[in-house]
Every structure is written in C-alpha cells, then in structure tokens.
C-alpha cells in the first residue's frame, strides 16, 4: 500500500529528471463540454508519456550493482524504462507485443534498449519477460503493478493540485491502473472531497468488470493500445476499489473524435489513451456539467498512418468529407458538367470514379462517384440539391 509520503518522496527523486508539464484551462473544450476543463499535458514529456515518472522512480532506487532491467510494454512504459536506464547507465531489455506500433518500437530502440517482440498481447509479453528476467538475472520493472511505479505516477496529481487547487474532479484513463491508483492516493490525501473518475474502452473493460462485478466481453484490439490491458494490476485494483469514485466506458469512435478535437482545438497530438478522458466528457456531458475537471493527456505516441486514418474518418463524421454518387447520360462532357456544378456549390473534389460496368443503370448511363471536401453536413445537402435541380440523380453513398 502506498501513501502520500511515498508520492512526495517520488516527486523529490523526479525533480530535474522529468518535465513538470503544464496544467492549463481550455476555454473551447469547456464551452463544448459544459464543464471547466483543465488539461495536464503529459504528452509533452521527453518520451511523450507520463510513464517515465514511474519508471524513473523505480530505477532510481535500484541497488547497485545491477545486471540491468527488463520490462514488458506496448510502448510508453518501454520508452520510459529505456530512456532512464540509458541515463543511469543500465542495460535495458524490453519485451513488446508483436503488433506494437512501429513508431513506439523504433523510439524505444533509439534509447539503447534491446527489443524483443513476442506475443500478441501484453499478458503474453509479460510471461516472456518474466522468463527472461529469471534466465538473465534482470530486475523486472512492471508497468503498473509495482508500488514504486504507482508512487511515481501519483506525482501527476501533486502537480495538478499545486497549479489548480480547486479542481472538483480528475478524469484518468485506466489500463492496468497504475496512473489513477497513484493519482488517487495523492489527490484524496490532499483533498478528500475530490472526485476520481476512471475511463476504460468498451473493448478492454477489465478494471471496470473487476470493480463493478460486470462481465463485459474483452476485444482483441483497440485504438487506445496504451490502455488495452486484459488483466488489471493487483496493487492498483486494491487502491482503485477504495479511492476511485466512478468508472466509465467509452467507445472507439468517442476516442477517435477526441483525438481529432484535441488536434484541432488545442493543437496538441495525443494517442488513443491520451484522449480517453475527453471522450468520457463528450459521451457523458451531464455527468460533469459545471464541474472543474482535470484531464490527463497521458500520452502522445501515435502511429502516423493511424493518425491519418483517424483524421480522415473524423472529417467524414463532421461532414467535411463526403462520398456522393451521381447518375448521368454517358455522353461527352457529362463529367465536366458535374464537376463544374460541384465547384459552383463551393465543394472541392478529392477523388473521381467513373463506373460503367458494375452498375444496374441502363447501358447508356454512367455512375460517377465523387469524394468531395465540404464545410458541413448542410453544405453536403446543398451540393446534392444543386445536382438534383439540374436533373441529375445524386445521393450520399
């Protein structure tokens, strides 16, 4: 069991070794959600995640001499351990699931760590890491089920309450539970009335099930791979069951929307886990309305290809990217007429597909699919109306 004193001692060890990230108000997100939103930018850490807090606190207390450390991680804990092991002159071996995003694998390797890709899940990677730890006499650094790691993560709450003492609620993403367990330990000791709310994805609700006694099924993957944990930590579970007031579930689409919103509104890049807190505010606005809410943007390591797909899908949901189908006579100039009308309506064309064979239209007709950039859903309707008024059959696909 950890206490506030251990979190304070961790803060002393971390001083000068990590960034004390800003915790600032967001007027726009406050207007959107109806709560007073304060963002803790842990994605600005050197390894772009809060995880190096716990890793640094653990490594700083290792007895010497030490043969080295080993960890299992989907990426952020790996980078934290690798970076601080390199800084302290320790050998680091990191076991990662085979499908960990390439950006996290390469960044971890850049800190001098030895990378072992093994298994399809964190649990499989953990089993292999424990075997290697025994074989090579390495110190295992668990990403969340370790008192020193949990105490290190708790320093996030210390900093948030130093900057904004009158916060009503802290909303924190949960994977194994190390972050919220450490934060709840510190926050409840400093301000007993503060509300702690944890957020998990519907695809990985292990902590939610363990605390609430539910039996939501577990999925195989999530956009928030940083919190895609199948087995909650024993230490965090005990703390969360005592100190966390509520747990919420969010969907993949909620997280995607939040990633795009933070990029557009705050000009800040977060990964799926880092957007989970905002996703909860957007999904349950009445739950937080009028409260001073602190959100932890816990990580910013996201694969560029995944980010590109999320942005594009976000544009579709917002009505800023649309696919329309137009049927017309297959005569010279018909395509030029259609594209000119789309331009007159103020939309920009991304793609054009001219379909003759795979259609049920009469042989004299052609089906044209357009992907267009628009301003809003109303703008899409205006484009379709203009095409229809010209005697063309036009519809959303």
Distances (CA, A) of 315 to 124, 232, 322: 36, 35, 8
Mean pLDDT of 170-191: 97
> Could you read off the pLDDT of 16-63 as tens digits, one per residue?
999 999 999 999 999 999 999 999 999 999 999 999 999 999 999 997
DSSP 66: -
CA–CA distance, 154 with 313 (Å, rounded to integer):
35
Domains and CATH numbers, the chain: 4-49+146-314 (3.40.50.1100), 51-140 (3.40.50.1100), 319-396 (3.30.70.260)
User: 279 or 366: which carries more pLDDT confidence?
Assistant: 279
pLDDT grade, residue 132 (50/70/90)? very high
pTM, whole model, 2 decimals? Answer: 0.90
Under DSSP, is residue 272 helix (H, G, I), strand (E, B) or coil?
helix
> Strands, DSSP E only, in the chain?
23-25, 36-40, 69-72, 92-96, 114-117, 139-140, 169-173, 195-201, 246-250, 292-296, 321-329, 348-355, 365-373, 393-396
- The predicted pLDDT at position 177 comes to 96
- The predicted pLDDT at position 64 comes to 74
- The predicted pLDDT at position 303 comes to 86
pLDDT grade, residue 362 (50/70/90)? low
CA–CA distance, 255 with 201 (Å, rounded to integer):
9
Nearest to 183 by CA among 362, 4, 331: 4
Above 80 in pLDDT, residue 356? no
- The predicted pLDDT at position 334 comes to 86
> Could you read off the pLDDT of 62-119 as tens digits, one per residue?
977 788 999 988 778 999 999 999 999 999 999 998 887 777 788 899 999 999 999 9
Least confident of 4-8, 105-109, 134-138, 289-293: 105-109
B/e letters for 2-24, b = 16+ CB within 10 Å, e = fewer, are bebebbebbbebbeebbeebebe
> Could you read off the pLDDT of 96-107 as tens digits, one per residue?
988 877 777 888
Transcribe 187-226 into DSSP letters.
Answer: HHHH-TT-EEEEEEETT--HHHHHHH---PPP-S--S-GG
Least confident of 165-174, 279-288, 300-309: 300-309
- The predicted pLDDT at position 371 comes to 95
> Could you read off the pLDDT of 375-396 as tens digits, one per residue?
999 999 999 999 999 888 899 9
> Could you read off the pLDDT of 252-303 as tens digits, one per residue?
999 999 999 999 999 999 999 999 999 999 999 999 999 999 999 999 988 8
- The predicted pLDDT at position 65 comes to 77
- The predicted pLDDT at position 297 comes to 98
Mean pLDDT of 183-201: 98
- The predicted pLDDT at position 360 comes to 67
């Amino acid at each position: 069991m950890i206490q506030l004193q251990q979190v304070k001692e961790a803060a002393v060890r971390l001083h000068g070794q990590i960034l004390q990230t800003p915790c600032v108000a967001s007027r726009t997100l406050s207007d959107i959600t109806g709560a007073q939103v304060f963002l803790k930018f842990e994605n600005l850490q050197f390894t772009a995640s809060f995880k190096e807090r716990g890793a640094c606190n653990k490594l700083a207390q290792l007895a010497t001499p030490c043969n080295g450390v080993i960890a299992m991680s989907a990426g952020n804990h790996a980078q934290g351990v690798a970076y601080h092991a390199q800084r302290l002159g320790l050998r680091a071996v990191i076991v990662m699931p085979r499908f960990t995003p390439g950006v996290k694998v390469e960044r971890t390797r850049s800190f001098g760590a030895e990378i072992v890709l093994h298994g399809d899940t964190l649990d499989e990677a953990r089993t292999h890491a424990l075997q290697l730890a025994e074989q090579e006499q390495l110190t295992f650094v668990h990403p969340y089920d370790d008192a020193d790691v949990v105490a290190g993560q708790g320093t996030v709450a210390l900093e948030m309450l130093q900057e904004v003492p009158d916060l009503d609620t802290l909303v924190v993403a949960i994977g194994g539970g190390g972050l919220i367990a450490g934060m709840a330990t510190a926050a409840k000791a400093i301000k007993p009335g503060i509300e702690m709310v944890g957020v998990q994805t519907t695809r990985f609700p292990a902590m939610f099930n363990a605390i609430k006694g539910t039996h939501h099924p577990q999925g195989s993957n999530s956009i928030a791979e940083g919190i895609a944990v199948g087995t909650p930590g024993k230490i965090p579970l005990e703390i969360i069951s005592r100190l966390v007031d509520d747990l919420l579930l969010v969907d993949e689409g909620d997280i995607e929307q939040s990633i795009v919103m933070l990029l557009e509104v705050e000009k800040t890049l977060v990964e799926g886990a880092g957007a989970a807190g905002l996703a909860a505010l957007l999904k349950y606005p009445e739950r937080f309305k009028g409260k001073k809410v602190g959100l932890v943007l816990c990580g910013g390591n996201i694969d560029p290809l995944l980010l590109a797909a999320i942005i594009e899908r976000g544009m579709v949901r917002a009505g800023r990217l649309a696919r329309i189908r137009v049927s017309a006579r297959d005569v010279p100039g018909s395509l030029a007429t259609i594209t000119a009308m789309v331009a007159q309506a103020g939309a920009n064309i991304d793609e054009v597909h001219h379909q003759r064979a795979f259609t049920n239209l009469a042989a004299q007709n052609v089906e044209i699919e357009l992907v267009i950039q628009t301003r809003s859903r109303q703008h899409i309707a205006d484009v379709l109306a203009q095409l229809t008024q010209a005697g063309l059959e036009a519809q959303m696909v």
